[in-house]
Structure 1
């Protein structure tokens, strides 16, 4: 067989696509290598239009005995990795089909929890950094109540670390070393829907424009100076 003939045969046999996230994390959601291989074989049959391959055919594809395949399939169902549904289409006989919706739900839950763990870890890292920065700028240790207030900004108000750091900068520039002053700044930004450093910079520029003195211009419409009027006495010599 030439390479051209092989290439044609390769593409003619079809392609089975597998989600990369599943390939990366199937062990973390409780799948064994054998269970994952069974999933791949069932997926391959499904992609070719065979929704419920015969047990002996599937066992041969996986390389296990019929009994081993049967036991593994039951284990996968018990682990909520898959289920077997009866599909009824109009004008056709009912037939069974493998359904891996539960597997994808497990994967979705795992990925979401993993992302949340990363977010929580980043918040904890930011929290420690903010504690240290404020103590350095204020020149004193923070009290337990102050530590609690800062944690509230992160956990409940969901202020970003960068926004809190900018509020600290504003506080230091105004020489008001107070956490309450920082809180007023953050609350003011929140009311104005300011959530990013770029928006803070824009707010500063707008404020500076308003505070800048307006230049005086001399033109033809400027008011003339008042000229005093005198009453002329007719008898004055």
Structure 2
């Protein structure tokens, strides 16, 4: 039976879940990952350049197979062999196992780009659907081309085009030319995001309200008629 002392003396090897969850996605086989894990375990115990013969015995694989695994992982960039100076000033070889984390970072970046692209494609698809919903009819080829030009040539974001569509609908102007004028007006003001447009609309609304207040305050009430008394000639009093 395993004693608690045996368990404690054996130590532990902590591996990030990022490695466990993604080693297959970055191109490692189960066999390659297990070999990498043995190198990682040895380094955590202080052996930066472990004996491959010992690892072959632990994995119960021929030494030729273990050397093949190492060469394969080095050639594919999962492991680097570095030469460093130790505390005694001696040069020694070490296995750099960190490249695997660089590959995981690259995988995550690629996944993020794919997610953003998918989100953008969905936003564009929804935009066309919004136009057809507001216009209560399918879009004509010319209209489809014009919206495509806004997106691809002019670089307007779907959310900005959607705001311009909303402005047109509020003014009961179901015309892409009208929407185009709105977009051009925002572009001249360098308004490129929905937040900037919302802030501009807020400022315009506040300015309009201020003008209305000033206009109301400038209208004076007619003065009441005051009877004038001519003290020199009372008969001429009004």
Cα 1:128–1:56, aligned 2, differ >3 Å: closer, same or farther? same
Q: Which runs of 5+ in 1 are unaligned?
A: none
Contact 1:84 1:96 in 2 (8 A): yes
Q: Deviations over 1:55-113 (max 9, x none)?
A: 12222333322221111111111222112111124642111111134322322222211
Q: Alignment length, in residue pairs?
A: 224
Cα 1:133–1:107, aligned 2, differ >3 Å: closer, same or farther? same
Cα 1:19–1:180, aligned 2, differ >3 Å: closer, same or farther? farther
Cα 1:147–1:209, aligned 2, differ >3 Å: closer, same or farther? closer
Contact 1:189 1:195 in 2 (8 A): no
1:173 and 2:170 are equivalent in the alignment: yes
Q: Which residue of 1 aligns with 2:21?
A: 24
Alignment partners' CA distance in 2, 1:23 and 1:146: 48
1:82 and 2:79 are equivalent in the alignment: yes
Deviation (angstroms), 1:180:
4.5
Contact 2:13 2:41 in 1 (8 A): yes
Q: Which moved more, 1:70-79 or 1:174-183?
A: 174-183
Alignment partners' CA distance in 2, 1:163 and 1:211: 23
Q: Which runs of 5+ in 2 are unaligned?
A: none
Deviation (angstroms), 1:33:
0.4
- Aligned with 1:141: secondary structure? coil
Cα 1:163–1:14, aligned 2, differ >3 Å: closer, same or farther? farther
Contact 1:29 1:110 in 2 (8 A): yes
Give the TM-score, by structure 1 length.
0.75
Alignment partners' CA distance in 2, 1:12 and 1:194: 62
Alignment partners' CA distance in 2, 1:87 and 1:108: 26
1:195 and 2:193 are equivalent in the alignment: yes
Cα 1:148–1:196, aligned 2, differ >3 Å: closer, same or farther? closer
Q: Which residue of 1 aligns with 2:59?
A: 62
1:152 and 2:161 are equivalent in the alignment: no
Deviation (angstroms), 1:157:
3.1
Alignment partners' CA distance in 2, 1:120 and 1:55: 44
Deviation (angstroms), 1:124:
1.2
1:123 and 2:120 are equivalent in the alignment: yes
